[in-house]
Amino acid sequence: MPELPEVETVCRGLEAALRGRRLARVEVRRADLRVPFPAGFAERLTGRRVTAIRRRAKYMLWAFDDGQVLIGHLGMSGRMVIGGGAPPPPGRHDHVLFVTDDGGHVVFNDQRRFGLMLLDHQDTLEHHPLLAGLGPEPLGNGFDGPTLSAALAGRHTPIKAALLDQRVVAGLGNIYVAEALFRARISPRRQAYTVAGARAERLVPAIRAVLEEAIAKGGSTLRDYVQATGELGYFQHEFAVYDREGEACRSCQRGLVRRIVQANRSTFYCAACQR
């Protein structure tokens, strides 16, 4: 599933292509994805001008000139692909088409149909069930050591699981949590409440650095993900522990990368240098 860097990369590509453009035509080619499309989805967006596209957690937020906001999620296999000129004939998994007033288009392709597109209004957006209760953005000014320490206080769960809880910090996923914990030299098995003080102060910049580097490389392409331009992400070539089970630790050179299962998710770490 695309994580924060992948969604951020897609949003930046869409923002560059769509901001200020009017949607001349919107086609919805099926009744639902993970959930049904809102009633009148295509009609409500046709003729509207895109004023901004940003990310919140793993959601895309398209703002329009009438105050509407499209809440989008890529699911496990969703792709937003930007094109120029006449749209291609619809493929089997091309579910939504957006045609702009300058002759460009964007196609939403989702083979597994776990993505979603909903509509809300900017005045009520923060209270939407998908967004209400989300924790701070890990790249925002509101995320620091004391904030993370407070969010983890009293949590008797592994730190890996706690960081995947979107109420603690928004947008983190399995890959980047594993990489950040490695950089901070914190074991994914460690109880979350013990990651306070100096450990939290190490972990916050590690999270930021991993995310920023991944965004700079266009995210990680492991299976389905591509950027909005159609290019692959390249951060997977920088993984220190993720998907490297049995390989030598690139930091300490003493341990091997181990794989364990936590909450039905694979966790990769070096037991020699992560404590």
Instruction: Report, as residue numbers or ranges, the catalytic residues.
Output: 2-3, 58, 265
- The identity of residue 227, as a single letter, is Q
Helices (H), 153-264: 159-164, 174-184, 198-216
C-alpha–C-alpha distance, residues 157 and 161, integer Å:
7
Task: Give 167: exposed, middle or buried? Use CB within 10 Å, 0-12, 13-18, 19+.
Answer: exposed
SS3 of 17, please? Answer: helix
Long-range contacts of 119-122 (CB under 8 A, 24+ apart): 119/38, 119/41, 119/44, 119/45, 119/68, 119/69, 119/70, 119/71, 120/68, 120/69, 120/71, 121/67, 121/68, 121/69, 122/63, 122/67, 122/68, 122/69
Q: How many CA atoms lie within 13 A of 138 on its CB side?
A: 31
Q: Which DSSP helix (H) or strand (E) runs through 110? A: strand 104-110
